[in-house]
Amino acid sequence: MDIKYSVGIMSGTSLDGIDVALVKIKDSGINTKLDVVGFETIPFEEDLREEIKRSLSIEKSNVELICSLNFKLGYAFSNAVKVACNNFNFDLSKIDFIGSHGQTVYHIPKDTKELKKSTLQIGEPSIIAYEIGCQVVSNFRSMDMAAGGEGAPLVPFTEYILYRSSKNRVLQNIGGIGNATIIPQKCKLNDVFAFDTGPGNMIIDEVVYRLTGMPYDKGGQLSLKGKIIEPMLKDLMEHEYILRCPPKSTGREVFGSQFVDKILKQYSSECKEDIICTVTMFTAKSIEYNYRNFIMPRMKIDEVIIGGGGSYNKTLLNMIRECMPECKVLTQEDLGFSSDSKEAIAFAILANETLHGSFSNVLTATGAKEYVILGNITPTPKKFN
Amino acid sequence: MDIKYSVGIMSGTSLDGIDVALVKIKDSGINTKLDVVGFETIPFEEDLREEIKRSLSIEKSNVELICSLNFKLGYAFSNAVKVACNNFNFDLSKIDFIGSHGQTVYHIPKDTKELKKSTLQIGEPSIIAYEIGCQVVSNFRSMDMAAGGEGAPLVPFTEYILYRSSKNRVLQNIGGIGNATIIPQKCKLNDVFAFDTGPGNMIIDEVVYRLTGMPYDKGGQLSLKGKIIEPMLKDLMEHEYILRCPPKSTGREVFGSQFVDKILKQYSSECKEDIICTVTMFTAKSIEYNYRNFIMPRMKIDEVIIGGGGSYNKTLLNMIRECMPECKVLTQEDLGFSSDSKEAIAFAILANETLHGSFSNVLTATGAKEYVILGNITPTPKKFN
């Protein structure tokens, strides 16, 4: 079986930057052999970050912005791959394929009277394929939605491949949104399940930015100085999404800036650190609530492995430990993995499955009716002249 | 070489409905053998048509609408294929592949200070692939833009394959927009050139709708009753787009409802039929201007072959004949083809090229720097369970 070089590109709801993972990959499915060659996050230029934020807003977005931004992000992703591969000292022409998640700008998990269940990831794959000169797999979420799923989460497949073990594990990613993948000991793919637990860093980051001008609560130092505002926490914990049974998925349209507008208005008399502390505890408690109600009735949890930017927030990590003293709470780094690179690596693996003609959705995670091949393939735009 | 059944789906800027062509196709490139098995236009439901119109407007569109509409159109296209194949008495499971143009909702032909050169066609291919159960090629325009082209027009490739002859021919399509493909006698692909001449029916239809409530000027009967408002025609003919040298492409953002707002305001005192007559002559004269300035200096035109909805507007056809008495002006039907089905057939042919790993952009038409494989391939979402 040939060894291929693949690049995974991820740009999450937290809008930190573009994650680029270069991996060496062999075979597919449960036989996948993976080596991470390099990983780098290329920050968004401020103008582009602001444009993405506008594109997420119903009030500020329009068709012209989305048309243009789709291509701009294609160039930004291409550029990120060029910069990263240069830093890895790796020749672009050796890349066999790219898996690009794209930037999610909207996600409608269920049909409503006016709207169709749908999802929108942008970052034009033709631009990436042309600029880098290789085939690109992208738009992974739509086919799962076509098959009746919510199109998210998709990492459970790669987590199953990388983390199955003799323990009952929960992988808790804390990006903009929090999501949990449950990998029971020695399980089959069908036994894996996953769902979004609610907010990850999204509310914390936005609150910190509005109250202090800083982009996030570095190391959890701000929340450490505050105390819990109990009525506010109680109020937050009654959010419909937290209480809802999985399968479920969510995004910025639920816990984004409009949500933060509301809570900052309601609790405007409280001190900054207390508000930051309370929304941090909300993330911890929402994770606990989901575990106690939707996981622990089925199995004992041996290990919780925290990944994503939230794993660097020590206050948040300690809050999660306090909430669930009976579980061992580890970080990806404790296991020798990297929190930052996990999702970018996932999309290199998912692209590999698509190019092998294999499915990679997990029915218990997305709620899809059947296994399907995810994504569109943009061919290498061969040079003919 | 295997015979394949392919479906081409087209939904043009005129928003009439979804064109579905079922073809039998063999081989590729200049050796392509094509038989049209069936053709049908499935009208848009009124609600969906209104939603598409909203999605075209900078003021009325937003990210939520576009996210939802992309999937809604995926279902509408799938449904159109199901209805058409049922009418053709053709089993869906025998379709080998689909080429779907999608609905263009925006097109930015050149970089501006704020905006990236880009194009946006929607109608989620994963939905079509899942609902019909075959692979889908879509998003044809982006790769040509990645290669420096305008992403339009794309029909010249298929017109070259279907219409090359011993005569100097110009194929004039009159859909929402007018476009011309020039196929000199016994030419090579490199000798074909093409560009958008300006408005097709777009202004006529919108003016007729606003002034009479009817969707278009059936057979040209309204314009036949009017006379030319000379200052208005002169004014229209000074439009920057008409005068500009090819390669060039345009769309609803230039000649859409905002354009019509302006002219109806300016000429509000004129009678309805005269306004309709004048905008009809504008389409004819803009075609003539482009021919005399950008084609005839290079070659004598033997035949002008008119296609698209505009070929059914007899007044428009007569105006074109009057403008260019030295050319033979024919319709697609005069040659045994069908105006209505031409573009849908084109996307079945273009999908076939992509699946053969062949380029299908015409550099002289789009202005691209090099030949590239167009489109993304959404694999057949095999059933695994």
d(CA A304, CA B311): 68
pLDDT value for B384: 56
- B379 CB neighbours in chain A (<8 A) are 354, 357, 373, 377
Better-predicted residue by pLDDT, B378 or A333 = B378
The answer to whether B16 is annotated as binding is: yes
pLDDT in tens, B78-122: 999 999 999 999 999 999 999 999 999 999 989 999 999 999 999
pLDDT in tens, B123-177: 999 999 999 999 999 999 999 999 999 998 898 899 999 898 899 999 999 999 9
Residue B18, token pair as written in the block: 């979804």
Record: contact B116-A62, CB cut-off 8 A: no
Q: Which of residues 325-354 of B touch A (CB under 8 A)?
A: 354
Compute the residue count for chain A. Answer: 385
Query: Are the folds of B3-150+343-378 and B156-335 the same?
Result: yes
Q: What is the mean pLDDT of chain A?
A: 95
A106 → closest Cβ in B63, B370, B385? B63
With 90 as the cut, is the pLDDT of residue A260 above it? yes
| CA distances from residue B46 to A20, B16, B50, B255 in whole angstroms, order as listed | 44, 10, 6, 22
- B373 CB neighbours in chain A (<8 A) are 379-382
Better-predicted residue by pLDDT, B33 or B335 = B33
Contact residues for A208 (Cβ-Cβ < 8 A; gap 6+) = A214, A215, A216, A217, A222, A276
Which candidate in B45, B71, B132 is best for mutational testing of the A interface (most A CBs within 10 A)?
B71
The structural domains of chain B, with segments of one domain joined by +, span 3-150+343-378, 156-335
- B69 CB neighbours in chain A (<8 A) are 116
With 50 as the cut, is the pLDDT of residue B385 above it? no
Arithmetic mean of pLDDT, A332-357: 91
The answer to whether B177 is annotated as binding is: no
pLDDT value for B340: 81
Chain A touched by B47 (CB under 8 Å)? no
| CATH superfamily of this structure's domain A3-150+343-378 | ATPase, nucleotide binding domain (3.30.420.40)
With 80 as the cut, is the pLDDT of residue A244 above it? yes
pLDDT in tens, B218-250: 999 999 999 999 999 999 999 999 999 998 889
d(CA A373, CA A376): 9
pTM of the full structure: 0.82
Contact residues for A107 (Cβ-Cβ < 8 A; gap 6+) = A118, A119, A120, A151, A152, A249, A251, A253, B67
With 90 as the cut, is the pLDDT of residue A235 above it? yes
- CATH code, A156-335: 3.30.420.40
Arithmetic mean of pLDDT, B358-364: 93
- A75 CB neighbours in chain B (<8 A) are 116
Record: contact B384-A378, CB cut-off 8 A: no
With 90 as the cut, is the pLDDT of residue A342 above it? no
Rg (CA), chain B: 20
pLDDT value for B74: 98
Binding site for ATP: which residues of A? 12-19
Chain A touched by B284 (CB under 8 Å)? no
Which residue from B minimizes the CA distance to A53?
A: B63
Record: contact B62-A64, CB cut-off 8 A: no
ipTM of the complex: 0.81
Q: Are strands A97-108 and A135-138 parallel, antiparallel or unpaired?
A: parallel
pLDDT value for A385: 47
pLDDT in tens, A130-178: 999 999 999 999 999 999 999 988 988 999 998 988 999 999 999 999 9
- A64 CB neighbours in chain B (<8 A) are 58, 106, 108, 115, 253
With 50 as the cut, is the pLDDT of residue B265 above it? yes
